Amino acid sequence: MSVLYIVLPLALILAAIGVGAFLWAVRKGQYDDLDTPPVRMVFDDDDEVPR
Amino acid sequence: MLRGQAVSEQTTITETPIGGARGSGHGCDHCSLPVPLGLVVEGRREQFCCHGCESAYRVIHGCGLDAYYRLREQAGDASNKPATIDDADRVSAFDTDKFHELYVRRRDDGLLTCDLMLEGVHCAACVWLVEKLPRVVPGVIEARLSLREAIVRVTWDPQQVALSKIARSLGTLGYRPHPARGGTKRTMHLAEQRTLLIRVGVAGAIAGNTMLLALALYAGMFGGIEREFENLFRWISAGLGVVALAWPGRVFFRGAWAAIRTRSPHLDLPIALALAVGGVAGLVNVVLGRGEIYFDSLTVLVFLLLVGRFIQYRQQRRADDAVELLFSLTPTSCRRVRRDDRGSEAIEQVPAEAVAVGDVLEVRAGELIPADGDIVSGRASVIASLITGESRPVAVDVGDAVCAGSQLADATVRLRVSAVGEDSRVGKLMALVQRGVADKPAIVALTDRVAGWFVVVVSSIALAVFAAWSVFDLGAAVDHTVALLIVACPCALGLATPLSLAVAIGRSAKRDILIKSGAVFDRLAKPGRLLLDKTGTLTRGAMRVEQWHGDPSIKPLVAEVERHATHPIARAIVSAFGGEELPADERQAIREVRVNGRGVTAQTRRGELLVGSRQYLAQFGVAVPKAYQSLAEQAAARACTPVFVVEAGRVVALASVGDAVHADAVASLRQLEQWGWSVTMLTGDERLVAEQVAGAVGLKPGAVSAGVTPEQKLTAAQQRGEAGPVVMVGDGVNDAAALAAADVGVAVSGGAEPSLAAADVYLARPGLSGLVELIASARRTRRVIRRNLAVSLAYNALAIGLAAAGLINPLVAAVLMPLSSALVLALAVGGQGLGRPVNQPTQGPAA
């Protein structure tokens, strides 16, 4: 059971990394516009919509 | 000033041949909206404005359901006739230094970026098309479009291309560009939203991890756990809990502190109390190694409350931004006449902000006057309804003064600027608006009032419980009192109120009612005094043909002749009858059209045609027969202007043209009076017109104030009765101060910019039915909030009872708390759907 002394802090460090990544993403503006990116990704690289 | 914009667009419509669709001349085969030039496929029969439309069309066509389109055409739904966008003149102002100073940013690498708001953005294909801009215009580095806001951020190389060229290309694609205004406010909102999101995220992560640890502890409680590990879990829980309270949870302490300082009750107060007591007690118990720790409940509490606030903030911001972005559509440039040294004249486009006192400006028919000034050449009629409330145009001549914000009805004039910005009439009215905002009484929301009592009651019970238990056992007394204070936290209430408001704001926005603050619902739920503006609020705010007497077959011909005039009455006739087709040969036969301020003459195949007022007829020596004279008097009695049609010297028809009352005004006012509102009409217009309109909507003459100045409107809005809120509804600059000062200010569709800025609510759909829906929604929301109050107070009463009896342990609290939250949540979100919908507006066919 004493493995908990290693695993528990490790889990917390992993969680902290996750939170850190989230903070980075929010501060970079990744969550600012939630409407356009889902639309943008349906476009093919080629001219899928006829010009 | 948005109404001006709409009217000036109408002018361009009447000047372009019908069917000249925006951009390409093709109508989308699915939605019948114009197809942007860049999306037209040469040599194909069907054309589409977007991929979505094309897919929909393929599905419908493939299933043999083409009858749908024929049916829709028969229903008259496919009648879009937007004008082509030729903006070369307007967008040249985009290159001036002043424009660059206001809207363009220089990046470190020497490239320039600018946010432009686009008209006509509606689907994914628009994103695709606009973001292909670098391929269309060499020199553009990047274009990123935000679909919801319709704002494109363009980055370009100033060495290779000018902004006006980019703007013109966007116009060619079918998207009319405007500089996006309100940038600082949007940036502020965005920063605030990011902070809120970070708090939610951190609180969520901590709550999740603490719950995992709590699970282990509860399992240990029943299955047994080694003391060593129990302590480890408790210490880590405590560490996480302290972080949750000190970082994302700090807002509650700050809110509570502000409430104490200003001595106004606030929901943050009982929340902060529970968090503080729970945190301290938990920490003490962890250090002492005995008793309960409450960190699992506390972290989840912080997380849920923050989620509720985040959702409410997002909804509110959406409505606020939508109103803010409307300002971008107001004209921002004007024509300045410049004389160079040799005495020759040149006209240049400059941003409105660059105009200075003493400049000479040229203003054309249909445009808004950009600054206060005196006319130096030309004569015209001016519509000042947004400034003064007067609905009929006023004739102005050389030497007359005109106000910024009024609209030129016909002809081109030049004026010398006498005042700009704060010194102009509009500027002074804006100063009044600021004063109105400052004088607005703070109304404590229902939830906060309850919270105030809540703190007092819970504290007294806590003291009583502590006193009672300390007789037997001091340790138990502390434990039970702490447990009581924690379970008494109005978590369900703190979560349910913002969510109920968010749901109500979101549903209203779907019905074109944009609400800037959730407090509006609280204030509108009880009936009070309703002050209504006349022009543009009760009436449409624009001239319209009300009645036609005489030969109907002449209508298209009259419209064709009136096309040459730009007077508002002429425009009303064109928009009423211009849709009917006039045979080409008859159109070509029209010659010698002469226009003056009172009427039009022309030679037609049927002989000489005269359209104009009685005075105009008198100039030509045409007598008006008895029958038409009495018809004209009837028209005048309804506040309409009679316009005679004379063919070959004989009166053949009469049109009565006036500013009509909204079709839904009568029913809406009756409904509002039924709910107990006392309705008063305030107008800057003259008494006669005011009373006629009042009669038409069924208001008593006693409920009308005519000839009211903006200052008097402000005073009226500030007079508070003994009971009920004061609600001001209006659209003009002259209403703005009153809108700001009233408990709730409602700006209506087509309103002027200052009124939109001052109001709490914007009805984006013409007519008064929006107001009825708003109030119905307020009543419903108040019902939901009250029910939630009752449920959560009942839960708290139960929990306090259990705690006072010493029956609460952390497990019971951990189960009770989310249970009550879930119940109230279900009531907040689901409960509003049960309300009776009022005049559910029918949406157009799905595109």
How many CB pairs below 8 Å do chains A and B form together? 66
Q: How far apart are CA B394 and CA B417, in angstroms?
A: 19
Buried b or exposed e, range B244-271, using 16+ CB within 10 angstroms: bbeebbebbbebbeebeeeeebbbbbbb
Sequence-distant (6+) residues with CB within 8 A of B26 are B34, B35, B40, B47
Is the model's pLDDT at B10 over the cut of 50?
A: no
Interface-testing mutation among B57, B152, B190, B194, with chain A (most A C-beta atoms within 10 A): B194
**Tens-digit pLDDT profile for residues B540-575:** 777 778 788 888 888 888 888 887 776 777 878 887
Residue B838 has pLDDT above 60, yes or no: no
pLDDT tens track for B178-206: 888 777 778 888 899 999 999 999 999 99
- Contact between residue B270 and residue B487 where contact means Cβ atoms under 8 Å apart: no
What does the pLDDT average to over B38-62? 68
The residue annotated as part of the active site, out of B321, B410, B522, B533, is B533
Show residues of chain B in contact with A39, CB under 8 Å: 124, 127, 147
Residue B208, CA distances (Å) to B44, B213, B296 in order: 57, 9, 9
Checking if the pLDDT of B831 tops 70, the result is no
Give how far Cα B189 sits from Cα of B155, B182, B184, B675, B782, Å: 23, 11, 9, 37, 27
pLDDT of residue B51: 67
Interface mutation vs chain B, best among A33, A41, A42, most B CBs within 10 Å: A33
Of B260-269, B321-330, B767-776, least confident by mean pLDDT is: B321-330
* Proportion of chain B above pLDDT 70, given as a percent: 85
Is B659 noted as a catalytic residue in this protein? no
Distance CA B705, CA B214 (A): 67
Q: Is the pLDDT of residue B368 over 50?
A: yes
Find the helix packing angle between B268-288 and B446-470, rounded to 10°. Answer: 30
Minimum distance, in Å, between the CA of residue B41 and any CA atom of chain A: 6
Order across the sheet with B380-383: list the strands.
B394-396, B380-383, B407-408
Asked if B215 is an interface residue toward chain A (Cβ–Cβ < 8 A), one would say: no
Roughly how many angstroms between the first and final C-alpha of chain B, as a whole number?
Answer: 30
CA nearest to B368, candidates B812, B753, B806 = B753
Nearest to B493 by CA among B458, B553, B448: B448
CA–CA min distance A46, chain B (Å): 11
Q: What is residue B344's three-state secondary structure?
A: coil
CA separation, residue B765 to residues B310, B545, B768, B841 (Å)? 28, 21, 9, 10
Residue in B125, B197, B232 nearest the CB of A4: B232
- pTM summary value: 0.73
Question: Between chains, do A33 and B124 touch, taking CB under 8 Å as contact?
Answer: no
Q: What is the pLDDT of residue B83?
A: 33
Task: List the Cα angle A30/A32/A37 in 5-degree steps.
Answer: 70
Q: Which residues pair with B823 in a beta bridge?
A: none
Give residue B729's pLDDT: 92
Which residue has better confidence, B536 or B257? B257
Between CA A16 and CA B38 the distance in angstroms is 48
Q: What is the CA radius of gyration of chain A?
A: 20
If residue B485 lies in a helix (H) or strand (E), which one and from where to where?
helix B474-487
Chain B neighbors of A32, CB-CB under 8 A? 190, 193-194
Residues of A in Cβ contact (< 8 Å) with B194 = 26-27, 29, 31-32
